[in-house]
């Protein structure tokens, strides 16, 4: 099983995850994957800041995309563990950009870190660590170590 490139990921995610409106994979490389969340009114909480659940959703979506970028079309890869630290308020009126580093890709689990920033800023807004389970049928076919 082969991984997916940037356009293939966007096309596949749009097909299997149509409710994920506003997300776009910007780059899928061996060492990092980047996802943009086009922040809209539904992502805001009172006071005009991006809500914690919206940032968590971005982290989870980005890790899912990173796993798919490595193992291919595996719709049933699922989150088994997640932890997020909210570090500062996102900058008003800016999209959020998540950068994912896959730390381990095994036969059973994928582990990664996600750093979320306001577009155009180097300051980290949130940091998440996630683990994904790879379904058994895909483990056999994936050739993963």
What per-residue confidence (pLDDT) applies to 70? 93
What per-residue confidence (pLDDT) applies to 137? 63
What structural domains does the chain harbor? 6-142 (3.10.129.10)
Q: How far apart are CA 65 and CA 4, in angstroms?
A: 9
Q: What is the dihedral of CA 38, 39, 42, 44, to 10 degrees?
A: 170
- Contacts of range 46-50, beta carbons closer than 8 Å, 24 or more positions apart: 48/92, 49/89, 49/90, 49/92, 50/90, 50/96, 50/125
Per-residue pLDDT of the chain in tens (145 residues, 90 and over written 9) = 468 999 999 999 999 889 988 999 999 988 889 999 999 999 998 888 999 999 999 999 999 999 999 999 887 899 999 999 999 999 888 999 999 999 999 999 999 999 999 999 999 999 999 999 998 864 444 444 3
What per-residue confidence (pLDDT) applies to 75? 78
What per-residue confidence (pLDDT) applies to 10? 95
What per-residue confidence (pLDDT) applies to 87? 97
Task: Look up residue 98 and give its two tokens.
Answer: 């998540």
């Amino acid at each position: 099983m082969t991984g997916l490139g940037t356009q293939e990921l966007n096309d596949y995610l749009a097909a299997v995850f149509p409710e994920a409106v506003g997300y776009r994979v910007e780059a899928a490389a061996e060492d990092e994957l980047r996802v943009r969340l086009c922040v809209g009114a539904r992502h805001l909480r009172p006071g005009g800041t991006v809500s914690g659940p919206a940032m968590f959703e971005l982290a989870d979506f980005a890790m899912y995309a990173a796993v798919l970028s490595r193992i291919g079309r595996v719709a049933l890869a699922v989150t088994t563990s997640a932890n997020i630290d909210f570090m500062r308020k996102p900058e008003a009126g800016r999209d959020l950009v998540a950068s994912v580093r896959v730390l381990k890709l095994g036969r059973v689990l994928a582990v990664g870190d996600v750093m979320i920033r306001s577009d155009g800023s180097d300051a980290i807004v949130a940091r998440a660590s996630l683990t994904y389970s790879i379904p058994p049928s895909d483990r056999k076919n994936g050739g993963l170590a």
